[in-house]
A and B are shown apart, each in its own frame.
Chain A
Amino acid sequence: MNFIIEVLKATIPAGTPLLLGALGEIYVERSGILNLGVEGMMIMGAISAFSMTNITGNVWLGVLISIIIGGGMALIHAFNSITLKANQTLSGLALTMLGLGLSGLIGKGYIGVPLSGKLHNLPVYGFKDIPIIGPIFFDQDPLVYISYVLTLIFWFFLFNTRFGIELRSVGESPDVADSAGINVAKIQYLATFIGGMMAGLGGAYLSVVYAPAWIEGMTAGMGWIVLAITIFSLWRPERAILGSYFFGCIRVLQYRLQPLGISPNLLNMLPFIFTILVLMLAAREISRKRISSPSSLGIPYFREKTL
């Protein structure tokens, strides 16, 4: 029992960068934009947060800069796909390459450097004594609590506010949204920007809280897993929790199973194999429930076409 609680307690931080990234990407894809550059934005978030924290000694400044950098990178993608209406797949891939390259360049001097600031665990008074749930969910660092709140906010805004309705209608049928007087480009820019900020934040969590260290290419495919979680969540923030913690748990088990003599290389395959399995699961559910991805996902919106 203690072992299970221990694994689950470790699962939450392992899944948090994925959750943060997925929440953002859900908004991006809901607006009809496909940003495959999550990996690049996350790793740039990771290095910028790490270097800023090291320079200032303040974790929160590191977190702040990662959000700005992530959002800034997303604006490149927004410009490519919304203003230029260029190919979104290629633009996303380019963002990933840029991020991996630039982070390696900036991070060269930070390899093996210990982090000067630290985020301590902050048990929530009252909640932490609830049996089982308390130690798992409420004996974590402040950013984990922020991720809970953000999930709630993302869910609330998507389904209960005017912005959420506009966001969803832009992704479903931009021409209808346009004729209803919604500024399609503005919504899409905003969504893409939010997605980038969240990916940057996820990267920051990885390098300044979870690791805490800078390792070149430390996202190691997490950005792509975020994209899979986005699909698995059926574009619903509350379902992203499930997917993110599932992959967090796999990551924890990867380390726990290593002493049993299983090849670390084989264990490293696990998240990627499960990504494919989870996608298959989601595909079944999508066809059974007759839901679909946002209809205009990845398709540039030309106003001329609808006139």
Chain B
Amino acid sequence: MLEKYRNLGLSFLVVILGLFGIYLVSGISPYIMLKSIIISAFGSIYGLSETLTKSIPLMLCGLGLSLSFRSSIWNIGAEGQLLMGAIGATWIALYVMPNAPKLILIPMMFIVGAICGGIWALIPAILKVKFNLNEIIVSLMLNYIAIEFVNYLIYGPWKSPYEWGFPYSTKFPISAQLPRILDTRIHYPTLILALVLAIFIYIILYKSKLGYEIRVIGDNIDAARYAGLDIRKIIILVLILSGGLAGLAGVGEVAGIHHRLRVASGISSGYGYTAVIVAWLGRLNPFLIVFVSFLFGGLLVGGDAIQVSLGLPGATINFINGLILIFVLVQSFSKIRLYSTKKGAER
């Protein structure tokens, strides 16, 4: 138990190291930078509300990824799956049933968004199962394709005639907009959904037969094969669930925050990639992932703030994320080493 929190603490140390690296390149004092990240993310009600808002897509994507990573399936495509979810929601809200009442429209947007994200993840799943293609490269390629697809839609067929030429879709009807807490941007239905799903995924992973099979495949695929598990079916199922959760995140972004489809980089500031780190730093544990999402939501808010206040480029946060990931990795190594020497000793 203590170890988990020590790791979290040490990961902050890496953030500080990263800030020092940024100092070498940009000449901005790490102290000022750290201070402005923390204060802007956690130092005010507004900051906290933004942090929570940004943690919602991270939770959903991270939870989905934890399922797939737990079974050793490397879904790196949460970014694209999120965007496909956003497209699905927009399609429902603007073109399929724009006049439906809120109680029908919003659930439909979430359902279709999840399906779109799930289908996008089904592509690498099928290619892996049928042709033994590397799911990392395929899911990554699909991210780029999804980004171009969103941009194609808003510059092309879905471009709104009412937005003075801006690359936006038409604004969603009121009945397709998620309610928020007071005047913050916290779209709480998505937040509640994410929290409920965290419990749900915990139950799947640790209390169900499917979860047991997922863990067996993840730990030792040969053992799973000997045990006669239908590995292909589980790979497909896991990736659909994983993509579906990312799709939900996309629905939340367009229905809760933007109320329209806009350029891909405006909908997601790399949530799908950040979620990879969130999932690993959360040790693939659903509850820990919820907590880590909040911290990384803060990092994203802080990253936006230092862009404005200190004039650093948006890529700065990428750099910090990379450092944290390396750190997570170095942490996990001691465990493997221990395991292997123990095995050696037994022999």
Do A and B assemble together? yes
Query: B316 touching A272 by the CB < 8 A rule?
Result: no
A224 lies within 8 A of B141 (CB): yes
Contacts of B93 in A (CB 8 A): none
Given A36-B136, A104-B315, A302-B340, 18 other A-B residues pairs in contact with their CB atoms under 8 A: A80-B326, A80-B333, A84-B333, A86-B333, A90-B328, A93-B76, A98-B322, A104-B316, A104-B319, A217-B315, A265-B155, A266-B148, A272-B145, A276-B141, A280-B131, A304-B340, A305-B343, A307-B347
Specify which of B313, B322, B336 is in contact with A85 (CB 8 Å cutoff).
B336
Q: Which residue of B lies closest to A281 (CB)?
A: B131
Segment of B20-28, B108-116, B189-197, B283-291 in the binding face:
B20-28
Q: Do residues A284 and B131 form an inter-chain contact, with CB atoms below 8 A? A: yes
Tell me whether B209 is interfacial, beta carbon within 8 Å. Answer: no
The yes or no answer to B278 lying at the interface (CB within 8 A) is: no
A173 within 8 A of B: no
With A and B bound together, what is the CA distance between A96 and B318 in angstroms?
9
Query: Are B344 and A93 in touch, CB under 8 angstroms?
Result: no
Residue of B nearest to A84 (CB): B333
Looking at the assembled complex, report how far the CB atom of A41 sits from the nearest CB atom of chain B, in whole angstroms. Answer: 12
Interchain CB contact (< 8 A) of A100 among B76, B138, B140, B318: B318
Q: Which residues of B contact A263 (CB under 8 A)?
A: 152, 155-156
Collect the chain B residues with CB atoms within 8 Å of residue A85's CB.
333, 336-337
**A98 partner, pick from B136, B314, B323, B341, beta carbons under 8 A:** B323
Q: Are A279 and B340 closer than 8 Å at their CB atoms?
A: no
CB of B8 within 8 A of chain A? no
Contacting pair B340 A305 (CB below 8 A): yes
Residues of A bordering B, CB below 8 Å: 36, 40, 76, 80, 84-87, 89-91, 93-106, 108, 216-217, 220-221, 224, 227-228, 231, 263, 265-266, 268-269, 272-273, 275-276, 279-280, 283-284, 286-287, 300, 302, 304-305, 307
B133 and chain A: residue at smallest CB distance: A279
Residue B325 is within 8 A (CB to CB) of chain A in the complex = yes
Known contacts A105-B316, A268-B148, A280-B131; is A86 also within 8 Å of B329 by CB?
Answer: yes
Closest 4 CB pairs of A and B: A104-B315, A101-B319, A101-B318, A97-B322
Q: In the complex where A86-B332, A87-B332, A91-B329 touch, is A105 in contact with B137 (Cβ < 8 A)?
A: no
Contact between B315 and A216 (Cβ–Cβ < 8 Å)? yes
Residue in A93, A224, A265, A280 whose beta carbon sits within 8 Å of that of B156 in the complex: A265
Can you give 22 contacting A-B residue pairs, CB < 8 Å?
A40-B322, A85-B333, A89-B136, A91-B329, A95-B322, A96-B322, A97-B321, A97-B322, A98-B319, A102-B315, A104-B314, A105-B319, A220-B144, A228-B141, A265-B152, A279-B137, A280-B131, A280-B133, A283-B133, A287-B132, A302-B340, A304-B341
Question: Contact between A305 and B344 (Cβ–Cβ < 8 Å)?
Answer: yes
Find the residue from A101, A269, A305 having the highest chain B CB count within 10 A. Answer: A101
CB-defined contacts of A284 to chain B, threshold 8 Å: 131
Is the Cβ of B127 less than 8 Å from the Cβ of A269?
A: no
Chain A residues with Cβ under 8 A from B76's Cβ? 93
Q: Please count the residue pairs between chain A and chain B whose beta carbons lie under 8 angstroms apart in the complex.
A: 157
Q: How far is the CB of A190 from chain B (nearest CB, A)?
A: 22
Interface: B134 (CB within 8 A)? yes
What is the bound-complex CA distance between A104 and B25, given in angstroms?
Answer: 11
Q: Which residue of B lies closest to A275 (CB)?
A: B141
CB within 8 A of A280: which of B127, B149, B332? B127
- Is B280 an interface residue, CB under 8 A from the partner? yes
Closest A residue to B264 by beta carbon equals A265
- Once bound together, how far apart are the Cα atoms of A300 and B337, in whole Å? 11
Residues of A within 8 Å of B318, CB to CB, are 97-98, 100-101, 104
B21 vs chain A, min Cβ distance (A):
7
Residues in A whose Cβ lies below 8 Å from that of B133: 276, 279-280, 283
Q: Give residues 114-150 of B contacting A (CB, 8 Å).
A: 127, 131-134, 136-138, 140-142, 144-145, 148-149
B11, CB-defined interface residue at 8 Å = no
Known: A89-B136, A104-B315. A269 touches B329 (CB 8 A): no
Q: Does B276 contact A (CB under 8 A)?
A: yes
- Asked if residues A231 and B321 are in contact (CB atoms below 8 Å), the reply is no
B317 contacts A101, C-beta separation under 8 Å:
yes
Chain B neighbourhood of A97, CB < 8 A: 273, 318-319, 321-322, 325
Contacts of A98 in B (CB 8 A): 318-319, 322-323, 326
A93 touches B25 (CB 8 A): no
Q: Which residue in A87, A286, A300 is a CB contact (below 8 Å) of B329?
A: A87
Residue B55 is within 8 A (CB to CB) of chain A in the complex = no
Interface residues of B in 145-177 (CB under 8 A from A): 145, 148-149, 151-152, 155-156
Bound-state Cα–Cα, A263 to B332, Å: 45
The contact of B322 among A101, A106, A273, A304, by CB within 8 Å, is A101
Q: B330 at interface (Cβ–Cβ under 8 A)?
A: yes
Residue of A nearest to B315 (CB): A104
Whole-angstrom distance between the alpha carbons of A104 and B315 in the complex?
5
Most chain-A Cβ atoms within 10 A of its Cβ — which of B136, B148, B273, B315?
A: B315
Question: When the two chains form the complex, which single residue of A96, A273, A279 contacts B134, counting CB atoms closer than 8 Å?
Answer: A279
- Asked whether B231 is an interface residue with its Cβ less than 8 Å from the other chain, the reply is no
How far, in angstroms, from A147 to B155 measured CA to CA in the complex?
39
Are B280 and A90 in contact, CB atoms less than 8 angstroms apart?
yes
Determine if B202 is an interface residue (Cβ-Cβ < 8 Å). Answer: no
Chain A residues with Cβ below 8 Å from B343 are 304-305
Cα(A228)–Cα(B133), bound, Å: 10
Least CB distance from B156 to A in Å reads 6
Set of chain A residues within 8 Å of B25, measured between Cβ atoms = 102, 105-106
Separation in Å of the A107 CB from the closest CB of chain B? 8
